[in-house]
Amino acid sequence: MKVEIWSDIACPWCYIGKRRFEAALAGFEHRDDVEVSWRSYQLDPSLPEVFDGTEVQYLSERKGIEPAQLAGMLKQVTEQAAGVGLAYDFESLVVANSFPGHRLIHLAKAEAGPAAADAVKEALLAAHFEQGRNIGSTDVLAEIGAGVGLDPERVRAVLATDDYTDAVNQDIAEARSLGVNGVPFFVIDRKYGISGAQPPELFTQALETAWAESRPLQMVSTPDTGTDGSADGPACGPDGC
């Protein structure tokens, strides 16, 4: 079973949603047969490499909301994050464009596999929301790449080119084609969509439903065949019994 997750590194609910989904997946009986694929999305492609100001100032300018109101909203998000074991620090957060980070995730998947991509995603979210690091910095991205086994010089070389730019843009375009207008957004087997950082119970229900529907009925029979040589027991059909 495949789960695709569209999310942005600069999205606080995406990190919370990741934790809630992981909690559901950890308790899912068939978790070892679930492939998780991170897909790119940008909430603000127009953001400069680094915004000269705080998260509150950035959101106030972008959304036109009073700073005092925004501070209250961020406090609520911080409390929700703490509920899943995350320590958000919006005062130290560096407002930076997430596009290079998305390229790094694609690089990690291409050269080291899905597990490495997941580890990079985790490291980027932690760097952004908990550690006050610049997720647009090549130095930071090279260090994060090295942490999952990538050659840091290879990361620097890739980021100096346009490699994986098309892959990120294709993810974003595909999100639009699916009608995604907010993240996180979870798609299970291209059949079920889940919008937002839902409770673990909802993810559990969706995983169990999708698993049941994707597996054909398994026939159970006794080791000995019937008197007619078949593995079926006595039964009636359209032509009689």
- pLDDT of 24 strictly over 80: yes
Task: Tell me how many helices (H) and strands (E) the chain has.
Answer: 9, 4
State the Cα–Cα distance between residues 98 and 104, nearest whole angstrom: 10
Tokens of 93: 């957060």
Band of pLDDT at residue 214, cut at 50, 70 and 90 = confident
- pLDDT of 25 strictly over 50: yes
In the numeric block, the tokens 């679930």 are attached to 34
Task: Kindly report the pTM of this predicted structure.
Answer: 0.89
**Could you tell me if 94 and 132 are in contact, meaning their C-beta atoms sit under 8 angstroms apart?**
yes
Tokens of 187: 């798609």
**Ranges of H-type helices in the chain:** 12-26, 55-63, 67-82, 99-112, 114-129, 138-147, 152-159, 165-177, 200-214
pLDDT (average), residues 194-206: 98
* Amino acid at position 123, single letter: A
State the Cα–Cα distance between residues 104 and 120, nearest whole angstrom: 8
Angle at 217 between CA 213 and CA 220, to 5 degrees: 150
- pLDDT of 238 strictly over 70: no
Angle between helices 12-26 and 114-129 (to 10 degrees): 130
Residue 126: C-alpha distances to residues 65, 80, 88 (Å): 26, 15, 9
pLDDT of residue 226: 47
What is the sign of the dihedral through the CA atoms of 222, 213, 38 and 20? negative
